[in-house]
């Protein structure tokens, strides 16, 4: 156990910061350019208010749901995120064990610091594998096959990372992350001063395909038995197109604002994507989830489940597997309390009636002229 006792995810981050080197901390916490949307994300989530309900029988609550038919004990999953070894030597093995013991699902990153086979051996719960469209379609299929054979139950295609991001903290720190052991070293996808591996700006070989289109999604869908989850959707049309081209789910995500800055927060665009897919595929959301109430707000706006990125690193850095499990359990406990206070006993029943974004006082002063 850790000697520090963080009582929430923000405190987990504070303790993690004292344990990590500056390069590692900034690699995890940082985002693209001015980090404006990183701040906006929290501001928007904080601005949504809850509408509590009284005298509802909440004695019997069920937090579980399904994602692509697989049961998870509460609607929070672990995002794909590269290089867990930046936070703990047990890296993705610890994270996979924590996800399983907390009763949820982990998405393993294409830039993991352990092989996808090692992680699947360690995992006790459902696992999905994240990948990119590579210029070499043979390599794209090879990774899909390896994931199929190792027991991953979905492929998560990250589509918002075609272009090298400008992460100024990493540039300043000259941060060098390790190359993922998942690729043949002769591919030379290794470290850089921007992020690492596949994000490398120069020297290393960027194997991702900038030419990929929705036709490639059709191609992959017809060449793998695994369902496809498209990650990085920020507008309605892309949600619609993903569903049309073989995806079984999308993740409304802006990559934790680590690529393009000054986008909307994900929670702002979630409703338009939910409307666009019209119930034909599942919609999940990530970005800035730090409280059970944030999970509730995303579910109220139509997400089936959410995922967390940075918080898993804070858990790992503070206490390895136990830390990740504790971060997940905090979110579950906070969500359960929020549901109870809003009179909800199942995650499916959480709806827009439970939240508001505009103060009712505004309707009393529609033009503002009353203040003269
Ligand atoms: C350190 C780090 C590494 C990441 N690596 C990947 C990755 O390899 N693939 C990917 O699709 N997303 C990656 N992401 C983005 C996350 O999957 C997710 O979209 C984002 O972290 C969610 O926001 P949050 O950190 O506020 O929870 C990474 C995020 C972080 C913080």
**DSSP-derived 3-state class of residue 3:** coil
What would the mean pLDDT of 103-128 be, rounded to a whole number?
A: 97
What would the mean pLDDT of 198-214 be, rounded to a whole number?
A: 74
Query: Token pair of 60, please?
Result: 């019997």
Q: Is 290 annotated as a binding residue?
A: yes
Q: How far is CA 69 from the centre of its chain?
A: 19
Residues with CB under 6 A from ligand 1: 27-28, 79-82, 109-111, 130, 158, 231, 253, 255-256, 258, 286-289, 308-310
Domain membership flag for residue 262? yes
Q: Calculate how far, in angstroms, residue 11's C-alpha sits from the geometric centre of ligand 1.
A: 20
Q: How confident is the model at residue 200 (pLDDT cuts 50, 70, 90)?
A: low
How many distinct structural domains can be found in the chain? 1
Domain membership flag for residue 366? no
**What is the percent of the chain with per-residue pLDDT over 70, rounded to a whole number?**
93
pLDDT number for residue 178: 82
Residue 115's φ and ψ, nearest 5 degrees, are -70, 155
Residues pairing with 157 in the sheet:
131, 230
Q: Calculate how far, in angstroms, residue 56's C-alpha sits from the geometric centre of ligand 1.
A: 38
pLDDT number for residue 70: 98
Nearest-atom index, ligand 1, CA of 286: 22
Nearest-atom index, ligand 1, CA of 156: 11
Q: Calculate how far, in angstroms, residue 113's C-alpha sits from the geometric centre of ligand 1.
A: 14
Domain membership flag for residue 364? no
Q: Calculate how far, in angstroms, residue 223's C-alpha sits from the geometric centre of ligand 1.
A: 26
pLDDT number for residue 370: 58
Q: Is the pLDDT of residue 321 over 70?
A: yes
Domain that holds residue 350: 9-356
Domain membership flag for residue 194? yes
Domain membership flag for residue 189? yes
Q: Are 300 and 270 in contact (CB under 8 A)?
A: no
Active site residue 255: yes
Q: Tell the residue nearest (CA) to atom 21 of ligand 1.
A: 309
Give 366's DSSP letter.
Answer: S
**CB proximity list for 10: less than 8 A, separation 6 or greater:** 290
**DSSP-derived 3-state class of residue 291:** coil
Nearest-atom index, ligand 1, CA of 310: 25
Burial of 336 (0-12, 13-18, 19+ CB in 10 A): middle
Q: Residue 193 and residue 170: Cα distance in Å, rounded? A: 6
User: From the CB of residue 166, how many other CB atoms can be counted at a distance below 10 Å?
Assistant: 14
Q: Calculate how far, in angstroms, residue 266's C-alpha sits from the geometric centre of ligand 1.
A: 13
**DSSP-derived 3-state class of residue 228:** strand
Distances (CA, A) of 289 to 106, 118, 219, 274: 16, 28, 33, 18
What would the mean pLDDT of 151-175 be, rounded to a whole number?
A: 92
pLDDT number for residue 344: 98
DSSP alpha helix (H) spans, 284-309: 292-300
Q: Is 161 annotated as a binding residue?
A: no
Q: Residue 321 and residue 308: Cα distance in Å, rounded? A: 15
> Minimal CA–CA distance to 164: which of 287, 264, 266, 33?
33
User: Tell me, what CATH number does 308's domain have?
Assistant: 3.20.20.70
Nearest-atom index, ligand 1, CA of 288: 26
DSSP alpha helix (H) spans, 229-265: 236-244
Domain membership flag for residue 210? yes
Q: Is 256 annotated as a binding residue?
A: no
Query: Token pair of 278, please?
Result: 């019209």
Q: Tell the residue nearest (CA) to atom 13 of ligand 1.
A: 81
Task: State the catalytic residue, choosing from 84, 88, 245, 255.
Answer: 255
Q: Is the pLDDT of residue 130 over 60?
A: yes
Q: How far is CA 134 from the centre of its chain?
A: 21
**CB proximity list for 47: less than 8 A, separation 6 or greater:** 357
Domain membership flag for residue 363? no
pLDDT number for residue 190: 59
Q: Is 368 annotated as a binding residue?
A: no
Mutate to test the pocket of ligand 1, among 9, 81, 182 (most ligand atoms within 8 A of CB): 81
Q: Is the pLDDT of residue 13 over 80?
A: yes
Q: Is 287 annotated as a binding residue?
A: yes
Domain membership flag for residue 348? yes
pLDDT number for residue 308: 99
SS3 content of the chain, % helix, strand, coil (to 5): 45, 15, 45
DSSP alpha helix (H) spans, 84-164: 91-102, 116-122, 137-150
Query: Token pair of 97, please?
Result: 């064990």
């Amino acid at each position: 156990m850790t000697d520090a006792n963080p009582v929430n995810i923000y405190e987990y981050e504070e303790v993690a910061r004292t344990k990590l080197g500056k390069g590692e901390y900034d690699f995890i916490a940082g985002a693209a350019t001015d980090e404006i949307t990183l701040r906006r994300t929290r501001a928007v989530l904080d601005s949504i208010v809850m509408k509590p309900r009284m005298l509802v029988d909440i004695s019997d609550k069920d937090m579980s749901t399904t994602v692509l038919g697989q049961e998870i004990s509460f609607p929070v999953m672990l995002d794909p995120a590269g290089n867990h070894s930046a936070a703990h030597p047990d890296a993705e093995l610890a994270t996979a064990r924590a996800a399983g013991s907390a009763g949820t699902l982990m998405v393993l990153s294409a830039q993991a610091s352990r092989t996808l086979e090692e992680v699947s051996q360690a995992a006790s719960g459902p696992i999905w594998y994240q990948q990119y469209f590579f210029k070499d379609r043979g390599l794209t299929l090879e990774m899909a096959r390896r994931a199929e054979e190792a027991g991953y139950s979905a492929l998560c295609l990250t589509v918002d990372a075609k272009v090298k991001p400008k992460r100024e903290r990493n540039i300043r720190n000259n941060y060098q992350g390790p190359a993922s052991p998942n690729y043949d070293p002769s591919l030379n996808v290794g470290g850089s001063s921007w992020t690492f591996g596949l994000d490398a700006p120069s020297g290393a070989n960027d194997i991702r395909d900038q030419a990929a289109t929705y036709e490639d999604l059709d191609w992959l869908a017809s060449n793998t038995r695994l369902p496809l989850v498209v990650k990085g959707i920020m507008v309605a049309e892309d949600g619609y197109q993903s569903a049309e081209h073989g995806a079984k789910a999308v993740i409304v995500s802006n990559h934790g604002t680590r690529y393009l800055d000054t986008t909307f927060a994900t929670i702002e665009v979630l409703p338009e994507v939910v409307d666009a897919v019209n119930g034909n595929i599942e919609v999940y959301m990530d970005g800035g989830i730090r409280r059970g109430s944030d999970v509730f707000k995303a579910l109220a706006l139509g997400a089936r489940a959410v995922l967390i990125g940075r918080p898993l690193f804070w858990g790992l850095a503070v206490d390895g597997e136990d830390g990740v499990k504790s971060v997940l359990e905090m979110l579950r406990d906070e969500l359960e309390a929020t549901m109870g206070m809003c009179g909800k006993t199942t995650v499916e029943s959480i709806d827009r009636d439970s939240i508001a974004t505009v103060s009712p006082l505004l309707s009393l002063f529609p033009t503002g002229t009353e203040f003269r």
